[in-house]
Structure 1
Amino acid sequence: MAGMNGGRQTVDDKRRTTMERLANPVWAALTSGQRHLARELGAMLHYEPDVAPFCAVPEDGMFVPEHDLARLGGDVYFVGAIPAVPEGWQLNELGGVLQMVYRGGPVAPPPGEGIAELDALDPAMQALTAIAFPGYFRARTGTMGRYLGIHDAGRLIALCGERMDFGTLREVSAVCTHPGYTGRGHARLLVQHIMHGMQRQGVTPMLHVGARNGRAIALYEALGFERNGVLRHARLAARP
């Protein structure tokens, strides 16, 4: 019985740790699977600006002094844990972000025809994502994971890849299709490819999507993702 209880405690502890990491995803990534990408700034951790515009604090509401904020050098985004900042700094709350985690079974290998592995520094990725979510995909975001795309006459028209990495959990990201090519199943196919690749590595897919983006949420739920909760999302503007 002691062994069984100990096993149950271990499972519960792992579940609790996972939930804590999901509640502060940028911090979780920069202290685990992407520790090599982390840059320290006082109590904060952040990615290089040309990799991703995200910064993190270890706890929600933690006060960050002005001399650390001034060294960030530009606008940054916080997800989950939002800091307290000195008077004169502008921290703008954006729409909530719905976090979703894949809870389904094995993803069958999807059709591979027309799917291209993209170069990590392909500027076409930044150009396409600028239509859907400008400012989030940077020149070296493609180095954070694997990115796949679909082309039409040499033009990138759909994209999906991997961004934040917790080691056992990895984020499906940059899911976008050019407005002239929507409704053809491109996004679903690319997400399935990325999910399948993650599962082959023993990684659980997760993602973040605008809490009001009903169309995207419906797609992800159809693919087996479940809602894990809505996270706060804020942009810290550089002080004038």
Structure 2
Amino acid sequence: MAPFAAVVSDTATAWQEFHRLLQPGEQARLIALNPIEPTHGLQAEQVAVLHQMVAAIRAPDSALDAAVLRLNHLDAEEMLDLAAKTKPGPFARRTHQMGNYIGIRERGQLIAMAGERMLIDGYVEISAVCVRDEYRGKGLAGRLVNALRRGIEARGDTPFLHVRSNNQAAIGLYERLGFEVRQAFRLIAIKRTNMGSA
């Protein structure tokens, strides 16, 4: 569903337990404020710097967007294909089961999507915001993000999202939609090596 993980503390015991969860060559991703140096047969590589952005204002009131459709398991292959083409971040075959995923189709083809991923008390992450290259610049991403925001806010929660710090176009869009940077994080891939006991 998603390759994210966490450790309760930066101790040898915690890293040993983390090691047991991974197969040789398998990796998971952690979000951290500082560099991580795991032990016990694990290697760390910083993948990116992420900006965590939180909605500072409510989504504008709007009539229901008839072009925005709810996606489900029947759309899974197309969603996976769109994510592979646009690379919005980690997206696997069952990621859409983590929350509400919506999309826009043109002539039957899925051309844009976005959805909900992490749920934290009072907060819901908007994720996998992606648009086919030939449809960029038409406001589709903003329409999807606002549709998700309205649903999240109607439930009494606050929307947030993550974006790579070098993706200035996306950061600019989210700022125009009323999101503000809350924190910068390191996205770190942790990989199990053949060292250490299982």
Q: TM-score range by the shorter chain?
A: 0.7 to 0.9
Q: Which runs of 5+ in 2 are unaligned?
A: none
Q: TM-score, normalised by structure 1?
A: 0.72
Shift of 1:212: 1.0
Q: Structure 1 residue 153 and structure 2 residue 107: aligned?
A: yes
Q: 2:60 aligns with which of 107, 111, 114?
A: 107
Runs of 4+ in 1 over 4 A off after TM superposition: none
3-state DSSP of counterpart to 2:48: coil
Please list, as runs of the form range in 1=range in 2, the aligned pairs for 1:115-154 lying within 5 A after superposition: 115-120=68-73, 122-133=76-87, 136-154=90-108
Please list, as runs of the form range in 1=range in 2, the aligned pairs for 1:9-88 lying within 5 A after superposition: 51-59=1-9, 61-63=10-12, 64-66=14-16, 68-73=18-23, 74-80=26-32, 83-86=36-39, 88=41
Q: Which runs of 5+ in 1 are unaligned?
A: 1-50
Please list, as runs of the form range in 1=range in 2, the aligned pairs for 1:82-231 lying within 5 A after superposition: 83-86=36-39, 88-120=41-73, 122-133=76-87, 136-231=90-185
**Percent of pairs with identical residues:** 33
**Corresponding letter in the other structure for 1:235:** A
3-state DSSP of counterpart to 2:82: helix
Shift of 1:219: 0.5
Greater strand share, structure number:
2
3-state DSSP of counterpart to 1:151: strand
Q: Which residue of 2 aligns with 1:239?
A: 193
3-state DSSP of counterpart to 1:196: helix
8 Å contact from structure 2 (residues 105, 111) kept in 1: yes
**Corresponding letter in the other structure for 2:27:** D
Higher relative contact order (CA 8 A, sep 6+): 2
My pick for the range that moved more, 76-85 or 169-178, is: 76-85
Shift of 1:109: 2.7
Please list, as runs of the form range in 1=range in 2, the aligned pairs for 1:2-13 lying within 5 A after superposition: none
My pick for the range that moved more, 167-176 or 61-70, is: 61-70
Shift of 1:57: 1.5
Q: Separation in 2 of the partners of 1:192 and 1:226?
A: 15
Distance 1:210 1:135, change over 3 A: closer
Aligned residues: 189
